[in-house]
């Protein structure tokens, strides 16, 4: 990954201030370089002027002495003319004669009188212009002594330019400190500004993450007050989206409830039929009793008939009550619940002339305590869905398997396959949005599966014989875990 790519991945709140800082550093470097260059030139001009003034005085004073080669007079002039009030002082002055011999020097110990001038020393000078050597912190300047258009000698002067270099150093430090301060300030301002600018995005991001997790909430009024109009507009759009989604969810729930009621209606109709069937026999039995009640065999047969008929009606009514008031069935699932379900779907199956293939593997026991109410509701929904999907005179299957890990309930049909949207509802969960309320029964199954911590798998081809398996884990309902 290149550095640029990595940098692009850095959060905006860091990236923008870093870019501001880098820009400021670049600007500072350019400005500092220009300022120091300008200062350097100004200082050189100043030093040149100062050195020239000094040399003018020296040359005017010593020219007659140079002509006479009067070392003492030259030395005395150098001593007397040494400025003391300036920041930039000559640290050494050497005067040579025509032959290049030292006539006098401010420091005769190092430049011995009437000896040839050291070549290395002379090489440091570059004529009338000051040469600054930062290493020795000195400025070197040379001036010829002319008399009647003839060069009779040369003055070499070395100036201590420490104060100039220190001034440069101080200005450099000041520039660096000021620029660093400004850069840091701009970096902070950039950080705060960008943070404020992207704050609405962060608020939106937080709410969207929450929405993705299934708990979408609208952005509060306080956030509106703390932001600008563009962000407020964005917030409003988001809130409208959330409200719309919430309404859609509410609608879906309502539709699910309606679906439940609709299936209840169908069941009620079946139940009425179930109740009605024995009612005919019961009425006949009552008539028989009325006519031939004195006959003990007839009476006994009629009473038995009436009793079976009433038991049948009671079973149907209890099954319905148990299913549609699940709070009454907080007890563990029992095999009688499975029998109830078979009883409940029987009217629908009979109406469609369908058969139910039931298979039970293993035995249900009080431990683990799988909750009867939601499981009954889920199986009933799956059975009704299978019945609806299967053509008339077809077969649907119900397989209940109690294995060491889970309770696996599989409902199969002979329909034309589960539509992809409804299969997705089952497998992806209730976070999926229902379209036009289709598949509400399965959506409720998914909701119950989530509640139970169960897994749902859909098998079979897309256009035939679908099998839906609800696998409820055992561990969650073990007594030790439940405790």
Residue pair 433/252 in contact (Cβ under 8 Å)? The answer is yes
User: Minimum distance from CB of 73 to another protein (Å)?
Assistant: 8
User: Minimum distance from CB of 118 to another protein (Å)?
Assistant: 15
Q: Which residues bind another protein (CB under 8 A)?
A: 68, 70-72, 75-76, 79, 104, 107-109, 112-114
Q: Which one, 46 or 72, has the nearer CB to another protein?
A: 72
Report the relative pairing of strands 406-412 and 455-461 from DSSP bridges: unpaired
User: Minimum distance from CB of 79 to another protein (Å)?
Assistant: 8
Can you say whether the dihedral through the CA atoms of 224, 227, 229, 235 is positive or negative?
negative
Can you say whether the dihedral through the CA atoms of 164, 168, 174, 177 is positive or negative?
negative
Beta-carbon contacts of residue 205 (< 8 Å; ≥ 6 apart): none
Q: Which one, 82 or 299, has the nearer CB to another protein?
A: 82
Q: Which one, 113 or 253, has the nearer CB to another protein?
A: 113
C-alpha to C-alpha distance for 246 and 142, rounded to whole angstroms: 92
User: Minimum distance from CB of 36 to another protein (Å)?
Assistant: 39
Token code pair at residue 342? 């078979």
User: Minimum distance from CB of 100 to another protein (Å)?
Assistant: 16
Determine the angle formed by the axes of helices 229-292 and 296-324, rounding to 10 degrees: 180
Q: Which one, 114 or 177, has the nearer CB to another protein?
A: 114
Q: Which one, 69 or 401, has the nearer CB to another protein?
A: 69
Q: Which one, 80 or 120, has the nearer CB to another protein?
A: 80
User: Minimum distance from CB of 59 to another protein (Å)?
Assistant: 19
Q: Which one, 110 or 170, has the nearer CB to another protein?
A: 110
User: Minimum distance from CB of 104 to another protein (Å)?
Assistant: 6
User: Minimum distance from CB of 82 to another protein (Å)?
Assistant: 12
Q: Which one, 104 or 454, has the nearer CB to another protein?
A: 104
Q: Which one, 67 or 186, has the nearer CB to another protein?
A: 67
Q: Which one, 105 or 390, has the nearer CB to another protein?
A: 105
User: Minimum distance from CB of 80 to another protein (Å)?
Assistant: 11
Cα distances (angstroms) measured from residue 19 to each of 26, 183, 194: 11, 11, 12
Burial class from Cβ neighbours inside 10 Å (0-12, 13-18, 19+) for residue 418 reads buried
User: Minimum distance from CB of 58 to another protein (Å)?
Assistant: 16
Q: Of 55, 310, 31, which is closest to residue 158 (Cα–Cα)?
A: 55
Q: Which one, 20 or 104, has the nearer CB to another protein?
A: 104
Q: Which residue is it, tokens 């549609």?
A: 324
Beta-carbon contacts of residue 133 (< 8 Å; ≥ 6 apart): 124, 139, 140
User: Minimum distance from CB of 62 to another protein (Å)?
Assistant: 14
Residue pair 336/373 in contact (Cβ under 8 Å)? The answer is no
């Amino acid at each position: 990954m290149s550095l640029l790519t990595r940098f692009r991945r850095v959060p905006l709140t860091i990236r923008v201030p870093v870019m501001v800082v880098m820009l400021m550093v670049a600007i500072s470097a350019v400005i500092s370089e220009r300022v120091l260059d300008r200062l350097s030139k100004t200082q050189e001009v100043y030093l040149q002027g100062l050195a020239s003034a000094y040399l003018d005085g020296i040359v005017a004073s010593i020219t007659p002495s140079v002509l006479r080669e009067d070392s003492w007079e030259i030395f005395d002039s150098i001593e007397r003319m040494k400025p003391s009030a300036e920041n930039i002082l000559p640290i050494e002055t050497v005067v040579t004669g025509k032959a290049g011999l030292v006539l006098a020097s401010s420091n005769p110990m190092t430049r011995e009188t009437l000896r040839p001038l050291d070549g290395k020393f002379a090489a440091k000078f570059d004529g009338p212009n000051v040469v600054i050597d930062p290493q020795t912190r000195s400025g070197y300047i040379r001036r010829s002594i002319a008399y009647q258009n003839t060069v009779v000698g040369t003055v070499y002067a070395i100036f201590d330019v420490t104060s100039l270099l220190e001034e440069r150093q101080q200005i450099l430090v000041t520039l660096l400190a000021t620029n660093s301060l400004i850069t840091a300030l701009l970096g902070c301002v950039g950080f705060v500004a960008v943070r404020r600018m992207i704050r609405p995005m962060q608020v939106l991001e937080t709410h969207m993450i929450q929405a993705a997790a299934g708990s979408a909430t609208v952005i509060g009024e306080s956030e509106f007050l703390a932001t600008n109009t563009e962000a407020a507009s964005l917030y409003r759009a988001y809130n409208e989206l959330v409200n719309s989604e919430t309404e859609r969810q509410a609608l879906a729930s309502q539709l699910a409830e309606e679906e439940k009621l609709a299936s209840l209606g169908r069941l009620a109709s079946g139940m009425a039929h179930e109740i009605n069937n024995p009612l005919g026999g019961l009425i006949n039995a009552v008539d028989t009793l009325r006519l031939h009640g004195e006959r003990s065999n007839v009476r006994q047969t009629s009473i038995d008939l009436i009793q079976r008929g009433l038991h049948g009606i009671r079973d149907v009514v209890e099954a319905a009550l148990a299913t549609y008031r699940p709070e009454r069935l907080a007890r563990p699932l029992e095999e009688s619940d499975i029998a109830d379900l078979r009883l409940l779907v029987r009217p629908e199956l009979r109406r469609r002339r369908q058969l139910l293939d039931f298979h039970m593997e293993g035995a249900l026991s009080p431990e683990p305590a799988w909750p009867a109410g939601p499981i009954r509701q889920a199986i009933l929904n799956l059975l009704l869905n299978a019945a609806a999907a299967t053509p008339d005179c077809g077969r649907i299957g119900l397989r209940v398997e109690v294995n060491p890990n889970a309770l696996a309930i599989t409902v199969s049909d002979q329909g034309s396959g589960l539509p992809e949207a409804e299969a997705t509802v089952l497998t992806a969960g209730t976070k999926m949005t229902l379209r036009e309320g289709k598949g509400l029964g399965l959506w409720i199954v998914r909701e119950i599966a989530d509640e139970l911590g169960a897994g749902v798998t859909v098998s079979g081809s897309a256009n035939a014989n679908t099998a839906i398996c609800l696998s409820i884990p055992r561990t969650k309902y073990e007594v030790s875990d439940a405790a």
